[in-house]
Amino acid sequence: MLDFYLIIHFLLPVIQCLIGVLANGIIVIVNGIELIKQRKMIPLDLLLSCLAISRICLQSFIFYINLVILSLIDFLPLVKNFAVFMFVNETGLWLATWLGVFYCAKISPIAHPLFFWLKMRISKLVPWLIIGSLLFASIPLVFYSKHTWVLSQEVLLRLFSPNATTQIKETSALQIVFLARFSPPFVIFLISTLLLVFSLGRHTWQMRNTATSTRDSSTGVHVSALLSILSFLVLYLSHYMTAALLSSHIFELRSFMFLFCILVFGSYPSGHSIILISGNPKLKQNAKKFLLHGQCCQ
């Protein structure tokens, strides 16, 4: 039975990696072509492009981790480059958080001076938010590289090598560091997304009750946006929770729950990119063109 789980666990990450690289690659290519044509990029496209690049790197790292779990490759290179993986993952979480804030500021119908101020300035703030995310995520690499590398090495050796041992307090210290650094983007994302969900839900409910005889496509647009944001929220929460569970080492290596958490962790960068493409008319149209062109080539 375990062999069956391992075979499935090999096939699913391959599919995840292919879908993630393809979906995020489409986002980067479409926005890159637009940049070449227009010689400028709107803030939302810039944020989506940076997020897509980080997710291509993250998806590749996750696939590499799956190969290590299945003992198909050596785990020592993963130990040496684990700090880079943390940088990529944290950068992606911050960029996804700012995407949620951007949607909340632009879409949410909340009538408050703070939201009005944010709505007027969020586009100009996007480049600075991206730079700030990169700088914040690089702090462990620059200032705490030695300490972070030692903790990561000890915990990963304990995780992937049955003969290796480490002290519980060192594992707890690394878990606290991980959760402390991942909590700020998580809290900001949760607040902005819940505000957007509740405001959109209330606005949609009011439109359905007050304009039942004159419904138009705007109600459907709000419902579609609401479902997209809810899907984004579920994927983000699952990514954060599985990262917390995996860092706590409560599951044995290659156990069913351990493999399940790894699969859930890897579904976030690919799944949300598909949602972004399906909810963006420009990306959706170009994705269809790429797929049709690929079928014609075959």
Q: What angle do CA 281, 187, 150 make, to 5 degrees?
A: 105
Number of other residues whose CB lies within 10 A of the CB of residue 292: 10
CA–CA gap between residue 95 and residue 132 (Å, rounded): 10
CA–CA gap between residue 198 and residue 57 (Å, rounded): 33
Whether 1 shows a pLDDT value over 60: the answer reads: no
CA–CA gap between residue 226 and residue 241 (Å, rounded): 22
Range with the poorest average pLDDT among 50-64, 109-123, 139-153:
139-153
Number of other residues whose CB lies within 10 A of the CB of residue 142: 8
Helix (H, G, I), strand (E, B) or coil at 239: helix
Q: Which long-range contacts (CB under 8 A, 24 or more apart) does 138-146 make?
A: 138/87, 140/83, 140/86, 140/87, 140/177, 140/181, 141/83, 141/84, 141/87, 145/83
pLDDT 10s digits, 245-297: 877 777 777 778 888 888 899 898 898 889 888 888 888 888 887 777 655 66
**What is the Rg, in whole angstroms, of the alpha carbon atoms belonging to the chain?**
21
Alpha-carbon dihedral angle through residues 131, 134, 137, 139, given to the nearest 10 degrees: -80
Question: What is the reported pLDDT for 214?
Answer: 46
pLDDT 10s digits, 155-177: 666 666 555 444 444 555 566 66
CATH number of 1-158+167-206+223-269+278-283: 1.20.1070.10
pLDDT band at 86 (very low <50, low <70, confident <90, very high): confident
Question: What is the reported pLDDT for 293?
Answer: 67
CA–CA gap between residue 62 and residue 11 (Å, rounded): 13
- Mean pLDDT, residues 11-34 taken together: 91
Determine phi and psi for 259, rounding to 5 degrees. Answer: -65, -35
Count CA within 13 A, CB hemisphere, residue 214. Answer: 3
Whether 53 shows a pLDDT value over 90: the answer reads: yes
Among all chains, which residue has been given the structure tokens 């119908």? 109
In angstroms, how far is the first alpha carbon of the chain from the final one?
37
| 209 in Cβ contact with 228 (< 8 Å) | no
pLDDT 10s digits, 132-145: 999 988 887 766 55
Question: What is the reported pLDDT for 58?
Answer: 93
pLDDT > 70: what percent of the chain?
Answer: 77
Question: What is the reported pLDDT for 167?
Answer: 46
| 164 in Cβ contact with 158 (< 8 Å) | yes
Residue-range domain boundaries for the chain: 1-158+167-206+223-269+278-283
Whole-number mean pLDDT of the chain?
Answer: 79
pLDDT 10s digits, 95-129: 999 998 998 888 877 777 887 888 888 889 999 99
Helix (H, G, I), strand (E, B) or coil at 276: helix
Range with the poorest average pLDDT among 6-10, 37-41, 72-76, 242-246:
72-76
CA–CA gap between residue 277 and residue 287 (Å, rounded): 8
